Amino acid sequence: MATKRLARCGVRAQWRSARARSGARAAAGQRFAFLIVLDFETTCWGDRGRRGPEIIEFPAVLLNTSTGALESEFHTYVQPQEHPVLSEFCTELTGITQNQVDEGVPLNICLSQFLKWIQKIQKEKKIIFSADSQSNSTSEAKTCAFVTWTDWDLGVCLHYECKRKQLRKPDILNSWIDLKATYRAFYNRKPKGLNGALQDLGMAFEGREHSGLDDSRNTARLAWRLICDGCVLKVTKSLDKVSPYFVSPHLLAL
C-alpha cells in the first residue's frame, strides 16, 4: 500500500512539474506580464425590484503571468449609500455583515485607496496599463490588464454606480479581459459559473463562493490555468481607447 501511495505521489509531482514547465513556456507568449483580477460583491435582494446595485466589497489581486503567483492584494468593504441597510438575502449570499459595510468607506474613498494601491505596485513592478498591446513604452515596463468573470463588474456595476453618484471612474478600468468569454472560446465549453469552470478542469473552488476576495483569487487561479494550457489572454472589452500610462498623482484626489 505504501508503495502505491509513493507511486501516486510521484505521478502528482511529475504532473506539477510538467504543468510548471508548460506554464513557463506559455507565459513567454503572453501579452501581459501582470493581471489584476477584480470581483465585486454588491447589494442585492431576493425580489426583482428596480434598484441599482451598490458595491459593498472591492477586492483586487495581482497575478504574475510568468509564475502564477499572487503578488499583491487590495481589499476593502464599501458603505452603500443609496440603500444603506443590507437585505437578509444579501448577507446570506455574500457573508458580508451590516457591521462590515458600516465600518467600510464610501465608494469615492474606496476608489482613491485603490488608485494608491495601483500606484504603489506600478512603482514596485514597473507596470503600465495598455488596452491590448505587445509593445512597451520602455524596455523595463511591464504591461498589465484587468480581468473579471463576465463584463458585469466593470461594464455594468461600477460604470453605472459611478454615473448615478457622479463619481469619476478611473480610465484604466475602461478595458478588461472577460475570462468567462475567454474560457468559453478557448475550451469550446460553456461553463456553469466560476465554480463550474473550475470543476470542469478538475480544480476545486478554494474559500467561500460569493466572497469577493475568494472569487478574485479563484478567478486568478483559473486565468493561470488558461495560460498554462496555452491560451494567450487578450482584452475582450474596451469602453474607450486609452494609451499605456502610469496613474498620475492628481487622479488620487477622487
Instruction: Cite the beta strand spans of the chain per DSSP E.
Output: 34-38, 41-42, 55-64, 70-77, 127-129, 142-148, 175-178, 237-238
Smallest CA-to-CA distance from 79 within 100, 101, 59, 110 is with: 101
Taken in order of first residue, the domains within the chain and their CATH numbers are 2-252 (3.30.420.10)
Spatial distance between the Cα atoms of 103 and 5, rounded to a whole number of angstroms: 49
**Cell (9 digits) for 110:** 474606496
Give this prediction's pTM.
0.84
pLDDT of residue 102: 98
Is 210 annotated as catalytic? Answer: yes
Catalytic residue (one of 54, 82, 210, 250):
210
When pLDDT is cut at 50, 70 and 90, the band that residue 41 belongs to is: very high
C-alpha distances (whole Å) from 95 to each of 84, 110, 210 are 16, 20, 8
Among the residue ranges 99-113, 126-140, 167-181, 190-204, the one predicted with the least confidence is 126-140
pLDDT tens digits, residue range 64-107? 999 999 999 999 999 999 999 999 999 999 999 999 999 999 99
Is 41 annotated as catalytic? Answer: yes
Catalytic residue (one of 41, 54, 57, 161):
41
Name the DSSP letter for residue 95. Answer: -
Residue 27 or 90, more confident: 90
pLDDT of residue 245: 43
For the segment 169-188, the average pLDDT, to the nearest whole number, is: 97
For the segment 194-213, the average pLDDT, to the nearest whole number, is: 97
Spatial distance between the Cα atoms of 59 and 237, rounded to a whole number of angstroms: 20
